[in-house]
A and B are shown apart, each in its own frame.
Chain A
Amino acid sequence: DAGVTQSPTHLIKTRGQHVTLRCSPISGHKSVSWYQQVLGQGPQFIFQYYEKEERGRGNFPDRFSARQFPNYSSELNVNALLLGDSALYLCASSPSPGQGSYEQYFGPGTRLTVT
């Protein structure tokens, strides 16, 4: 298993555009979480999805949305991009949000640059 995979690796967008980031969890993992990591800061929680339902949401505006598919892969969408959205977006998968839910495995991230 290649672990958590994310695509694309890098992305450059212009202010006002929208972007879709993708994540494939480890095989057998049903929970996916998204984090935003701005340069010089720790990851900040955006969303958690489990069994295609949103199970947690961080303090992010409605421009951020996500969904999870039947195969447990996930997409993060950001509309009306702002310069401040430039960051590394991390995806993490875990077996479930219940017992042992601390076991989250991170992907390599997608580097988004908004110009």
Chain B
Amino acid sequence: AQRVTQPEKLLSVFKGAPVELKCNYSYSGSPELFWYVQYSRQRLQLLLRHISRESIKGFTADLNKGETSFHLKKPFAQEEDSAMYYCALKSGYGQNFVFGPGTRLSVLP
């Protein structure tokens, strides 16, 4: 079965500290992994996808197939990073995304 887990419901860090939001998945095929973010009073939006291997707003995520993980990292957190973060797995053709329960990141001043 396809499943995405995010073990932390809430993660609080101080401004300037490194941050890592954990994501693990279970999927029998070749997965496509994504991170979505929802800022306060805004819509859910794509942050990054593993295939592009890019850094968005200082965030990176590496797909580790051996550990079935796709952790989101940023070396120096900013207050504007405070938001809800969802890890998502896209399976098969089309828009069948499986989302994790989300982690609320709070960056303290």
Contact = CB atoms under 8 A, between A and B. Distances in A.
A104 B43 contact: no
B32 interface: yes
Interface residues of B, number: 22
Contact of A42 (B46, B94, B101): B101
B90 to A, nearest CB: 6
Contacts of B49: 102
A36 B9 CA distance: 19
B95 interface: yes
A3 B46 contact: no
Contacts of B40: none
Given A42-B86, A43-B86, A43-B99, A90 B94 contact: no
A44 B46 CA distance: 16
Interface of B: 4, 32, 34, 43-46, 49, 86, 88, 90, 92-102
Interface of A: 3-4, 31, 33, 35, 40-45, 48, 50, 55-56, 58, 90, 92, 94, 97-98, 101-108
Given A42-B88, A42-B99, A56-B95, 12 more contacts: A31-B95, A42-B100, A42-B102, A43-B97, A45-B97, A45-B98, A55-B95, A97-B94, A98-B93, A101-B90, A101-B93, A107-B43
